[in-house]
Amino acid sequence: MKLKELADLIEGSVVCCPDGLEQDVEYAFASDLMSDVLTVSKDRLVLITGLANMQAVRTAEMADILAVVFVRGKTISQDMIRLAEENGIVLIESPYTMFRASGVLYGKGLKPVY
Amino acid sequence: MKLEYKVQGGDFVRAGQASSQVKKVLKRLNVPPAIIKRVVVALYEGEVNIVAHAFQGKIYVDIDADKIKVVLDDIGPGIPDIDLAMKPGFSTASNIVREMGFGAGMGLPNIKENTDKMKISSVIDVGTRLEFEVNLK
Protein backbone atom coordinates (compact mmCIF):
# COMPACT_ATOMS: atom_id res chain seq x y z
CA MET A 1 0.00 0.00 0.00
CA LYS A 2 1.11 3.56 -0.61
CA LEU A 3 2.13 5.59 2.44
CA LYS A 4 -0.54 8.13 1.53
CA GLU A 5 -3.23 5.45 1.90
CA LEU A 6 -1.63 4.22 5.13
CA ALA A 7 -1.76 7.72 6.64
CA ASP A 8 -5.45 8.09 5.69
CA LEU A 9 -6.35 4.73 7.27
CA ILE A 10 -5.04 5.75 10.70
CA GLU A 11 -6.18 9.40 10.54
CA GLY A 12 -2.50 10.32 10.42
CA SER A 13 -1.04 13.75 9.90
CA VAL A 14 2.19 13.86 7.94
CA VAL A 15 4.83 15.84 9.83
CA CYS A 16 7.72 15.24 7.51
CA CYS A 17 8.52 14.58 3.93
CA PRO A 18 5.14 14.51 2.12
CA ASP A 19 7.15 13.92 -1.08
CA GLY A 20 7.66 10.34 0.11
CA LEU A 21 3.96 9.51 0.38
CA GLU A 22 3.81 7.85 -3.03
CA GLN A 23 6.21 5.10 -1.86
CA ASP A 24 4.86 1.58 -1.41
CA VAL A 25 5.21 -0.21 1.93
CA GLU A 26 4.77 -3.93 2.33
CA TYR A 27 5.69 -4.71 5.96
CA ALA A 28 5.05 -3.12 9.34
CA PHE A 29 6.77 -3.62 12.69
CA ALA A 30 5.28 -2.22 15.91
CA SER A 31 7.65 -1.73 18.85
CA ASP A 32 9.06 0.72 21.35
CA LEU A 33 12.29 -1.27 21.53
CA MET A 34 14.74 0.02 18.97
CA SER A 35 17.07 -2.96 19.47
CA ASP A 36 14.20 -5.17 18.35
CA VAL A 37 13.58 -2.94 15.35
CA LEU A 38 17.25 -3.22 14.38
CA THR A 39 16.92 -7.00 14.01
CA VAL A 40 14.39 -6.61 11.19
CA SER A 41 15.89 -7.13 7.76
CA LYS A 42 12.86 -6.47 5.53
CA ASP A 43 12.71 -3.71 2.94
CA ARG A 44 9.64 -1.52 2.33
CA LEU A 45 9.04 -1.36 6.06
CA VAL A 46 7.06 1.06 8.22
CA LEU A 47 7.75 1.35 11.95
CA ILE A 48 4.82 1.93 14.32
CA THR A 49 6.01 3.20 17.70
CA GLY A 50 5.11 5.11 20.83
CA LEU A 51 8.74 6.09 21.34
CA ALA A 52 8.94 9.71 20.27
CA ASN A 53 12.63 10.58 20.48
CA MET A 54 15.68 11.05 18.27
CA GLN A 55 16.65 7.40 18.49
CA ALA A 56 13.41 6.31 16.80
CA VAL A 57 14.36 8.42 13.77
CA ARG A 58 18.04 7.33 13.94
CA THR A 59 16.94 3.71 14.00
CA ALA A 60 14.79 4.31 10.92
CA GLU A 61 17.80 5.89 9.21
CA MET A 62 20.11 2.95 10.01
CA ALA A 63 17.58 0.25 9.12
CA ASP A 64 16.40 1.89 5.85
CA ILE A 65 12.85 2.23 7.21
CA LEU A 66 10.69 4.31 4.87
CA ALA A 67 8.29 5.79 7.42
CA VAL A 68 7.70 6.04 11.16
CA VAL A 69 4.18 6.25 12.60
CA PHE A 70 4.04 7.81 16.08
CA VAL A 71 0.88 6.68 17.83
CA ARG A 72 -1.33 8.19 20.51
CA GLY A 73 -0.59 11.87 20.15
CA LYS A 74 3.16 11.79 20.86
CA THR A 75 5.02 15.04 20.27
CA ILE A 76 7.58 15.04 17.49
CA SER A 77 10.40 17.52 18.15
CA GLN A 78 12.02 19.88 15.63
CA ASP A 79 15.27 17.90 15.97
CA MET A 80 13.46 14.72 14.97
CA ILE A 81 11.92 16.45 11.95
CA ARG A 82 15.32 17.84 10.90
CA LEU A 83 16.92 14.39 11.07
CA ALA A 84 14.02 12.85 9.12
CA GLU A 85 14.29 15.57 6.44
CA GLU A 86 18.01 14.94 6.08
CA ASN A 87 17.28 11.29 5.34
CA GLY A 88 13.95 11.52 3.52
CA ILE A 89 12.05 9.55 6.16
CA VAL A 90 8.28 10.09 6.28
CA LEU A 91 6.97 10.87 9.80
CA ILE A 92 3.28 10.39 10.55
CA GLU A 93 1.40 11.19 13.77
CA SER A 94 -1.70 9.15 14.51
CA PRO A 95 -4.24 9.65 17.29
CA TYR A 96 -4.78 5.86 17.39
CA THR A 97 -3.19 3.52 19.95
CA MET A 98 -0.46 1.18 18.74
CA PHE A 99 -2.92 -1.72 18.96
CA ARG A 100 -5.59 0.02 16.90
CA ALA A 101 -3.20 1.40 14.27
CA SER A 102 -1.58 -2.04 13.91
CA GLY A 103 -4.97 -3.77 13.71
CA VAL A 104 -6.33 -1.44 11.04
CA LEU A 105 -3.21 -1.71 8.89
CA TYR A 106 -2.95 -5.49 9.30
CA GLY A 107 -6.60 -5.76 8.25
CA LYS A 108 -5.82 -3.80 5.10
CA GLY A 109 -3.03 -6.18 4.08
CA LEU A 110 0.17 -4.78 5.55
CA LYS A 111 2.33 -7.83 6.36
CA PRO A 112 3.93 -8.71 9.70
CA VAL A 113 7.69 -9.32 9.75
CA TYR A 114 7.81 -12.51 11.80
CA MET B 1 40.21 5.01 4.06
CA LYS B 2 40.43 5.61 7.80
CA LEU B 3 37.81 7.45 9.83
CA GLU B 4 37.70 8.34 13.52
CA TYR B 5 34.87 9.56 15.74
CA LYS B 6 34.49 10.53 19.40
CA VAL B 7 31.47 9.31 21.35
CA GLN B 8 30.27 10.89 24.59
CA GLY B 9 28.71 8.67 27.26
CA GLY B 10 25.14 9.62 28.17
CA ASP B 11 24.56 11.83 25.12
CA PHE B 12 21.48 10.19 23.65
CA VAL B 13 20.62 13.11 21.40
CA ARG B 14 23.80 12.66 19.40
CA ALA B 15 24.02 8.88 19.66
CA GLY B 16 24.16 7.56 16.13
CA GLN B 17 25.91 10.53 14.51
CA ALA B 18 29.09 8.57 13.82
CA SER B 19 27.08 5.69 12.33
CA SER B 20 25.21 8.20 10.18
CA GLN B 21 28.50 9.64 8.87
CA VAL B 22 29.82 6.17 8.04
CA LYS B 23 26.59 5.35 6.23
CA LYS B 24 27.02 8.43 4.01
CA VAL B 25 30.62 7.47 3.20
CA LEU B 26 29.65 3.89 2.28
CA LYS B 27 26.86 5.21 0.04
CA ARG B 28 29.34 7.47 -1.74
CA LEU B 29 31.61 4.45 -2.25
CA ASN B 30 28.67 2.64 -3.91
CA VAL B 31 28.67 -0.26 -1.42
CA PRO B 32 25.49 -2.36 -1.98
CA PRO B 33 22.61 -1.18 0.29
CA ALA B 34 22.20 -4.61 1.98
CA ILE B 35 25.86 -4.56 3.07
CA ILE B 36 25.64 -0.92 4.20
CA LYS B 37 22.70 -1.87 6.37
CA ARG B 38 24.64 -4.71 8.06
CA VAL B 39 27.57 -2.40 8.79
CA VAL B 40 25.55 0.52 10.13
CA VAL B 41 23.17 -1.59 12.22
CA ALA B 42 26.18 -3.21 13.94
CA LEU B 43 27.96 0.12 14.28
CA TYR B 44 24.90 1.91 15.62
CA GLU B 45 24.33 -0.81 18.23
CA GLY B 46 27.98 -0.47 19.26
CA GLU B 47 27.78 3.32 19.36
CA VAL B 48 24.63 3.20 21.49
CA ASN B 49 26.39 0.76 23.83
CA ILE B 50 29.15 3.33 24.45
CA VAL B 51 26.57 6.09 25.06
CA ALA B 52 24.55 3.80 27.33
CA HIS B 53 27.32 2.17 29.38
CA ALA B 54 30.62 4.07 29.13
CA PHE B 55 31.99 7.51 30.01
CA GLN B 56 33.43 8.12 26.57
CA GLY B 57 34.71 6.25 23.60
CA LYS B 58 36.27 6.32 20.16
CA ILE B 59 35.25 4.64 16.95
CA TYR B 60 37.89 3.74 14.36
CA VAL B 61 36.73 2.70 10.91
CA ASP B 62 39.04 1.30 8.26
CA ILE B 63 37.54 0.73 4.82
CA ASP B 64 39.37 -1.05 2.02
CA ALA B 65 38.15 -2.64 -1.21
CA ASP B 66 37.30 -5.98 0.40
CA LYS B 67 36.14 -5.22 3.90
CA ILE B 68 35.35 -2.70 6.57
CA LYS B 69 37.05 -3.06 9.95
CA VAL B 70 35.61 -1.27 12.97
CA VAL B 71 37.04 -0.83 16.46
CA LEU B 72 34.94 0.70 19.24
CA ASP B 73 37.09 1.54 22.24
CA ASP B 74 35.56 2.87 25.42
CA ILE B 75 36.58 4.09 28.84
CA GLY B 76 34.02 2.73 31.22
CA PRO B 77 33.06 0.10 33.77
CA GLY B 78 33.85 -2.87 31.50
CA ILE B 79 31.85 -6.08 31.08
CA PRO B 80 32.28 -8.58 33.97
CA ASP B 81 30.99 -11.60 32.05
CA ILE B 82 31.16 -11.37 28.25
CA ASP B 83 29.44 -14.74 27.65
CA LEU B 84 26.50 -13.55 29.74
CA ALA B 85 26.44 -10.17 27.92
CA MET B 86 26.22 -12.05 24.60
CA LYS B 87 23.04 -13.85 25.69
CA PRO B 88 19.93 -12.43 23.97
CA GLY B 89 17.80 -10.64 26.53
CA PHE B 90 20.53 -10.04 29.11
CA SER B 91 21.08 -6.37 29.87
CA THR B 92 22.49 -4.18 32.62
CA ALA B 93 21.04 -1.00 31.09
CA SER B 94 19.63 1.74 33.31
CA ASN B 95 16.05 3.00 33.16
CA ILE B 96 17.17 6.08 31.21
CA VAL B 97 18.65 3.82 28.54
CA ARG B 98 15.45 1.77 28.43
CA GLU B 99 13.38 4.93 28.01
CA MET B 100 15.48 5.65 24.93
CA GLY B 101 14.32 2.36 23.40
CA PHE B 102 17.49 0.38 24.15
CA GLY B 103 18.61 -2.01 26.86
CA ALA B 104 16.59 -4.97 25.64
CA GLY B 105 19.69 -7.16 25.66
CA MET B 106 19.67 -7.58 21.89
CA GLY B 107 22.59 -5.32 20.96
CA LEU B 108 25.60 -7.67 21.13
CA PRO B 109 23.78 -10.68 19.59
CA ASN B 110 22.57 -8.38 16.81
CA ILE B 111 26.09 -7.09 16.17
CA LYS B 112 27.30 -10.70 15.87
CA GLU B 113 24.44 -11.47 13.46
CA ASN B 114 25.34 -8.57 11.17
CA THR B 115 29.11 -9.01 11.03
CA ASP B 116 31.53 -11.57 9.60
CA LYS B 117 33.99 -11.39 12.51
CA MET B 118 33.47 -10.02 15.99
CA LYS B 119 35.60 -9.87 19.14
CA ILE B 120 35.05 -8.26 22.52
CA SER B 121 37.64 -7.74 25.21
CA SER B 122 37.04 -5.94 28.44
CA VAL B 123 38.87 -4.93 31.61
CA ILE B 124 36.79 -4.10 34.67
CA ASP B 125 36.90 -0.41 35.63
CA VAL B 126 39.03 0.35 32.57
CA GLY B 127 36.93 -0.20 29.48
CA THR B 128 35.77 -2.36 26.62
CA ARG B 129 36.98 -2.92 23.08
CA LEU B 130 34.61 -4.25 20.45
CA GLU B 131 36.08 -5.14 17.08
CA PHE B 132 34.20 -6.32 14.05
CA GLU B 133 34.60 -6.82 10.32
CA VAL B 134 32.11 -6.91 7.49
CA ASN B 135 33.09 -8.21 4.06
CA LEU B 136 32.16 -5.76 1.34
CA LYS B 137 32.12 -8.38 -1.42
Chain A residues closer than 8 Å to B100 by CB: 34, 53, 55
Q: What is the pLDDT of residues A52-109, one digit of tens each?
A: 999 999 999 999 999 999 999 788 999 999 999 999 999 999 999 999 999 999 999 9
CB contact under 8 A, B104 and A35: yes
Amino acid (1-letter code) at residue B58 = K
Specify the CATH number for B2-135; select among 1.10.730.10, 1.20.120.80, 3.30.565.10, 3.30.70.20. 3.30.565.10
- Reported confidence tier of residue B51, pLDDT bands at 50, 70, 90: very high
Q: B37, B51, B91, B96: which to substitute to probe chain A, counting the most A Cβ within 10 Å? A: B37
Q: How many domains does chain A have?
A: 1
The CATH number that applies at residue A88 is: 3.40.1390.20
Residue A68 neighbours by CB under 8 Å, 6+ apart: A46, A47, A48, A49, A56, A57, A60, A84, A89, A90, A91, A92
CB of B41 within 8 Å of any CB in chain A?
Answer: yes
- Does residue A34 have a pLDDT over 90? yes
Range of the domain at A20: 3-112
Mean pLDDT of chain B: 95
ipTM for this model: 0.91
> Measuring CA to CA, which residue among A6, A2, A1 is closest to residue A71?
A6
Is residue A92 a contact partner of residue A68, using CB atoms and an 8 Å limit?
Answer: yes
